[in-house]
Amino acid sequence: MQKIIEGFLKFQTDVFPSRSDLFKSLAGGQSPKVLFVTCSDSRVVPELLTQQEPGDLFVIRNAGNIVPSYGPEPGGVSATVEYAVSVLKVSDIVICGHSNCGAMAAISSCQCLDHLPAVAHWLRYSDAAKAIIASQEFDSPQAKADALVRENVIAQLANIKTHPSVALALSQRKLNLHGWVYDIEQGAIDALDGKTMAFVPLAANPEVRAS
């Protein structure tokens, strides 16, 4: 904790004064244009890898960058999606997976999660991706895990479309969906091309989107 406290004190004395106008403008409200759904993994920092300022991204983070399908008992993720789309009026939603994801590795290797019942239950929302991967052959466990990361992004994009607020905004052409996979080691992002359903380098295809 000492390192974290020291970091805050540095922010307060060295960073905040030079950015005080920005924080003053944000004090009364927010108007982000993008909902960014990604993994809780400490190596993935949305504002850093997209070079965005405070107030630019509305972020959901959880194990496996999962968005459960809309149901009769919507949870925190559903409430946050609804607020982002219906109240904040975001124009884009990004679902971003990443390389070497522990959640996806656990699924692809059929790791026993009996000692982590809450985790096991949560990862069931990736069952569609798991079923697709299980029907295919891979050269190595790593290749299988990498493929699952991508299929999981596709599965979560399908899940988020079941949310009424998202379905309405999509029908009105007020919302775009994006599926990304961030490579931690390479500092690169592959994006889902909604027309071909293939992941392509974002740097070479900056206009590509999932829908």
Question: Is position 39 annotated as part of the catalytic site?
Answer: yes
Question: Is position 209 annotated as part of the catalytic site?
Answer: no
Question: Is position 98 annotated as part of the catalytic site?
Answer: yes
* Residues 70, 204: Cα–Cα separation, whole Å: 34
C-beta separation of 89 from 176 below 8 A: no
Question: 43, 61, 121, 124: which is the annotated catalytic residue?
Answer: 43
Question: 19, 61, 96, 101: which is the annotated catalytic residue?
Answer: 101
Question: Is position 112 annotated as part of the catalytic site?
Answer: no
For 131, counting Cβ atoms within 10 Å of its Cβ (0-12 exposed, 13-18 middle, 19+ buried), the class is exposed
Degrees, nearest 5: CA angle 81-113-45: 40
Question: 14, 56, 98, 121: which is the annotated catalytic residue?
Answer: 98
* Residues 211, 204: Cα–Cα separation, whole Å: 18
Question: 19, 21, 41, 96: which is the annotated catalytic residue?
Answer: 41
Question: Is position 121 annotated as part of the catalytic site?
Answer: no
Question: 39, 96, 146, 178: which is the annotated catalytic residue?
Answer: 39
Q: What is residue 197's three-state secondary structure?
A: coil
Q: Where are the beta strands (DSSP E) in 7-120?
A: 34-39, 57-62, 92-98
Alpha-carbon dihedral angle through residues 146, 147, 151, 152, given to the nearest 10 degrees = -30
Which sequence positions are flagged as catalytic?
39, 41, 43, 98, 101
